[in-house]
A = this chain, B = another copy of it.
Amino acid sequence: MDKILRINMSAADKPEIKVDVLGDYAGLGGRGLTSAIISKEVPPLCHPLGADNKLVIAPGLLSGTAAAMSGRISVGCKSPLTGGIKEANAGGQAAQVLARLGYAAIVLEGKPENDNLYKILINKDGVQITEDNALKMTGNYDTVDRMKSEYGDKVACISIGQAGEMKLGSASIAFTNMEFRPTRHAGRGGVGAVMGSKGVKVIVIDDSGMKMRSPKDPEKFKQANKLFVQGLMKHPVTGEGLPAYGTNVLTNVVNEAGGFPTKNFKSGRFDGAPKISGEALAEMEKERGANPTHGCHRGCVIRCSGIFHDKQGNYLTKQPEYETVWSHGANCGIDDLDAIAMLDRLDDDFGVDTIEMGATIGVAMDAGLADFGDAEAAINLVKEVGKGSPLGRILGSGAGVTGRVFGVERVPVVKNQSMPAYDPRAVQGMGVTYATSTMGADHTAGYSVTANLLGVGGTVDPLSPKGQIELSRNLQIATAAIDSTGMCLFIAFAILDQEETFNAMVEMINAFTGLSMTGDDVTELGKKVLKMEREFNRQAGFTEKDDRLPEYFLKESLPPHNVTFDVSDDELDSVFNF
């Protein structure tokens, strides 16, 4: 994994392929690598859909190895949604496959002059780029089916749906899972629009004939991995809650805590929560012969993903994630899991971020386009995105644009990106992360739910501003480091609570690379990544004024606790004091 594949889509006759050495980027992976390339090579004031932006797809440092949980892949660019730097990451098969092919990153550069659509095949023999205009405006499901018929089902696909081709702000990039379904998405920030602007519909990667990456010290690596897995298995969140109910185990927890944003962030508790909870979902999946405990990529031991069958017992979509259940459920007043699953399926197929899409439908409901609770209307609105109608394009552009177009004041965005499933008034640590993250409102950037609600990594009162800055800061630093390893962020539950599991992770990196990193080095890596990202944003015109929640979170109190967001601006401005 010591080379970078660069594909210049601007080249005159056809895209130009170049295989580059890692050079200055040696030692970086995942988010560390995507953010380094974007910081160094992309002009911060360029148009996100222009030739100067780049799309970087990078597996993590440990991807393609036998390390458990190492199958995350990072996608970086200047975001069309936020205008700042973006890293969105996903599970699925691609990280392992790409890493085994020896690529630390794929970089799509330039922009074609014509409007041809391309597919790219990467295998042990090299790279092939082919025009394939028959793929125009196909959904992700159709696209990967076509790729399967051409290349068999041992490959992995990275694709965009109609939304990416239309270059919409909520467009995602889909990654196939173990069953060759396009269900794992680099969802946030419109990364799919950047892929669309490069004219690339699908990247097919095939690691046939390639081996697993081997560690410097195989025995030490094997031992560390074993301890690491044991640690994950014994922690109640990663060993019990997530496997049994998936991420949707959180619905009851967050709703109970009064932080489950309901009807476009008007309440923190949703009457319909029990009907859409992880417990209800797992029960339904079992009844219908689906599978609630399933890994999204090879090497996953937590297995928080799952399969959702429709009423007839046929595959419909993956088990909707907690944030999707929230966005299309509580946030739209919808308490029907079948409707939520259908929305998830449509989102995956059209290639849009489920968080942005659900938040957008909530804003559209406030604008009077549909009633809260009307599942059929919500489905019809999302279908407009696939059609590419003017209404669909508005909605597919995200909550910020939808608010502008329909004159809605209450729009839950930071840096124009929608807030996810935790109300910042009732989970104030998340408010700090939403406000200050380099990514715009993003729960994964510093998941303060840990100490705020779950008692993981300590306890911090979720309703008080006290202690939230330090909590969010430390989590943002740790996350930036984990996102660079290719490890699934969910390992954080165990490594925050169990020192030996954290040590096993560091030991695994050292045994693999031959380095002798300490815990402090991991922290330093996280800080370095955040500083790069923040500097990019500064050069793109962001100031501390962009590190603020919309004013209504400071003024409107949220039932049932009747709280406002109380962390002061000065405190917010201290998050990056390190």
Q: Which B residues lie within 8 Å of A548 (CB)? A: 45
What is the count of identical protomers in the complex? 2
Listed residue (A43, A196, A541) with the most chain B CB atoms within 10 angstroms of its CB: A541
Contact: A49 with B166, CB < 8 Å?
no
A546 to B541, CA, bound (A): 7
| Nearest residue, chain B, Cβ from A50 | B409
Q: Which B residues lie within 8 Å of A50 (CB)? A: 409, 551-552
Indicate whether A189 reaches chain B with its CB closer than 8 angstroms.
no
The smallest beta-carbon distance between A349 and chain B, in angstroms, is 19
The smallest beta-carbon distance between A460 and chain B, in angstroms, is 27
Listed residue (A196, A404, A540) with the most chain B CB atoms within 10 angstroms of its CB: A404
Task: Please tell me which one of the listed residues B46, B47, B545 contacts residue A539 in the complex, with CB atoms under 8 A apart.
Answer: B545
Contact: A405 with B401, CB < 8 Å?
yes
The smallest beta-carbon distance between A535 and chain B, in angstroms, is 13
What sequence of 0s and 1s flags, for each residue 514-549 of chain A, a beta carbon within 8 Å of any chain B beta carbon?
A: 000000000000000000000000011111011010
A9-53 with Cβ < 8 A to chain B: 43-47, 49-50, 52
Contact: A551 with B407, CB < 8 Å?
no
Indicate whether A248 reaches chain B with its CB closer than 8 angstroms.
no
A550 to B52, CA, bound (A): 13
Contact: A49 with B391, CB < 8 Å?
no
The smallest beta-carbon distance between A407 and chain B, in angstroms, is 3
A391 to B391, CA, bound (A): 7
What sequence of 0s and 1s flags, for each residue 163-196 of chain A, a beta carbon within 8 Å of any chain B beta carbon?
A: 0001111000000000000000000000001001
| Nearest residue, chain B, Cβ from A44 | B545
A539-B545, A540-B545, A541-B545 as given contacts; A397 in contact with B390, CB under 8 Å? no
A387-434 with Cβ < 8 A to chain B: 389-391, 393-394, 397, 401, 404-407, 409
Listed residue (A196, A391, A405) with the most chain B CB atoms within 10 angstroms of its CB: A405
What sequence of 0s and 1s flags, for each residue 548-566 of chain A, a beta carbon within 8 Å of any chain B beta carbon?
A: 1011100000000000000
Indicate whether A197 reaches chain B with its CB closer than 8 angstroms.
yes
What sequence of 0s and 1s flags, for each residue 240-251 of chain A, a beta carbon within 8 Å of any chain B beta carbon?
A: 000000000000
Q: Which B residues lie within 8 Å of A49 (CB)? A: 407, 409
A167 to B405, CA, bound (A): 8
Q: Which B residues lie within 8 Å of A550 (CB)? A: 47
Q: Which B residues lie within 8 Å of A407 (CB)? A: 49, 166-168, 193, 196-197
The smallest beta-carbon distance between A506 and chain B, in angstroms, is 39
| Nearest residue, chain B, Cβ from A369 | B390
Q: Which B residues lie within 8 Å of A551 (CB)? A: 43, 45-47, 50, 52
A487-537 with Cβ < 8 A to chain B: none
User: Could you jot down 12 A-B contacts, CB within 8 Å?
Assistant: A45-B545, A45-B551, A47-B409, A80-B404, A167-B407, A196-B407, A197-B407, A390-B394, A393-B394, A393-B406, A394-B405, A397-B404
